[in-house]
Amino acid sequence: MQLTKKTLAQHADHIYDALVVGGGAAGLSAGIYLQRYLLSTLIIDKGKARSFWMQELHNYLGLPPETPGRAVLKQGKDHYLALEGDYLNAYVEEVIDEGDTLLVKVRIGRQNPTYEVFRTRYLIAASGIIDHLPQLADMKNVFDYAGYNLHVCLICDGYEMRDQRVGVFGSSAGSLEVAFPLGWFTRHITVFTNGAFEVGAELRDRFTQAGYTINEQPIHQFLGENHQMSGVELADGSVVELDAGLIAMGSKYHADYLQGIDLEYSGGNLVTDSMNRTSHPRIFAVGDLKVGMNQVIVAASDGALAATQVWRDIRRQEGTRRPLAEVLAA
Ligand SMILES: Cc1cc2nc3c(=O)[nH]c(=O)nc-3n(C[C@H](O)[C@H](O)[C@H](O)COP(=O)(O)OP(=O)(O)OC[C@H]3O[C@@H](n4cnc5c(N)ncnc54)[C@H](O)[C@@H]3O)c2cc1C
């Protein structure tokens, strides 16, 4: 059920079999599998999943290519709730390892927040990442185009950019390397530094050899209309016309709540085994937060694997299934 501040008290003493942090594709998939294994599950989600910004999901088997991310999220949440999983809109602040259980501290609401704790036997970290965007003065038009034809994911949208004039917007010389795999889809590439960093001689040579243009001026604003970016206006007033853009500025990893637990990371991503278990035996990581490919289909698969391993662990510990009424009353 959808938990609210009013109904929370009924659930406060319950020890969940699994608590899922994040209600994106990975977390919802995990929740659906967990409920179908007759385990008790709570998904806690702060909202605005990465897929919420995805205007069209182009590459998911069985879905029309113009399916918006928010339709996937709504369908997934409805499916999970229909299986009687618990769902709470809230922010997970901290996880504490208590031995047999994990204590999860939660903040509910932004204005006049209240605080709650939950206990769970297993935790699935499905809290994802969020893309850094170009930081222009007043964010000049960035939000009008990001997620439309100002893309953030080459694997997702390389096909959409085929043979187009594409601007690559990086945050460091290294981040501009994405221009080379983009060159598979189009040769008409301009890399932009926004005047923020130097491009070394070796990289400059490689761009030149590939036929790419380097633009090192500060950007004033993105231009376009109806969410279709048509170019950038530079600080000197000149305009570079483009058909699309690719932002390559890295991401923020939503894992602050795990800071108190010693886990293995690779960069910002959690390292897991093939069933998505982290270096902690009762913490799993799925979707964009773990090492792997940042795709909806992979996130959904990750959730299925983690949920299945949680079920196997619990089944091995308990042998026979507890009656459902007992699970819910625990
Ligand atoms: C513009 C855009 C276009 C894309 N296009 C495609 C595409 O065409 N095809 C494709 O396969 N993929 C695409 N992707 C990638 C895809 O969106 C991600 O790979 C996918 O959403 C990852 O799912 P996830 O469940 O791991 O994370 P998310 O969907 O980001 O879900 C994580 C959830 O956890 C929540 N959360 C974070 N921290 C906390 C916390 N402390 N407490 C509670 N909740 C928390 C977040 O708010 C969020 O709701 C695109 C992404 C973007 C941004």
Sign of CA dihedral 62, 67, 73, 75: negative
pTM given for the model: 0.95
Q: From ligand 1's centre to the CA of 235, what distance in Å?
A: 33
Alpha carbon nearest to ligand 1 atom 3, residue: 54
Please state the rounded mean pLDDT for residues 203-213: 97
Q: What gap in Å lies between CA 294 and CA 32, rounded to an integer?
A: 20
* Per-residue model confidence (pLDDT) at position 327: 64
Q: What is the pLDDT of residues 91-111, one digit of tens each?
A: 999 999 999 999 999 999 988
Q: From ligand 1's centre to the CA of 127, what distance in Å?
A: 8
Mean pLDDT, the chain, as a whole number?
Answer: 94
Alpha carbon nearest to ligand 1 atom 17, residue: 51
Alpha carbon nearest to ligand 1 atom 36, residue: 127
**pLDDT value at 271 more than 70:** yes
HSE on the CB side for 154, CA within 13 Å?
Answer: 21
Q: What gap in Å lies between CA 308 and CA 317, rounded to an integer?
A: 14
* Per-residue model confidence (pLDDT) at position 182: 98
* Per-residue model confidence (pLDDT) at position 329: 66
Band of pLDDT at residue 289, cut at 50, 70 and 90: very high
Q: From ligand 1's centre to the CA of 49, what distance in Å?
A: 5
Please state the rounded mean pLDDT for residues 261-275: 97
Alpha carbon nearest to ligand 1 atom 53, residue: 50
Domains parsed from the chain with CATH numbers:
8-130+251-329 (3.50.50.60), 133-248 (3.50.50.60)
Task: Evaluate: CB of 252 within 6 angstroms of ligand 1.
Answer: no
Q: What is the pLDDT of residues 108-164, one digit of tens each?
A: 998 899 999 999 999 999 999 999 998 887 777 888 999 999 999 999 999 999 999
* Per-residue model confidence (pLDDT) at position 118: 96
Q: From ligand 1's centre to the CA of 132, what distance in Å?
A: 13
Q: What is the pLDDT of residues 223-234, one digit of tens each?
A: 999 999 999 999
**pLDDT value at 293 more than 80:** yes
* Per-residue model confidence (pLDDT) at position 323: 72
* Per-residue model confidence (pLDDT) at position 136: 84
Task: Evaluate: CB of 269 within 6 angstroms of ligand 1.
Answer: no
HSE on the CB side for 195, CA within 13 Å?
Answer: 9
Q: From ligand 1's centre to the CA of 217, what distance in Å?
A: 32
Q: What is the pLDDT of residues 304-330, one digit of tens each?
A: 999 999 999 999 999 887 776 776 666
* Per-residue model confidence (pLDDT) at position 180: 98
Task: Evaluate: CB of 32 within 6 angstroms of ligand 1.
Answer: no
Q: From ligand 1's centre to the CA of 136, what distance in Å?
A: 24
Q: What is the pLDDT of residues 32-55, one digit of tens each?
A: 999 999 999 999 999 988 988 899
* Per-residue model confidence (pLDDT) at position 38: 96
Tokens of 76: 């997934």
Q: What gap in Å lies between CA 290 and CA 15, rounded to an integer?
A: 26
Please state the rounded mean pLDDT for residues 239-255: 97
Tokens of 296: 């909806």
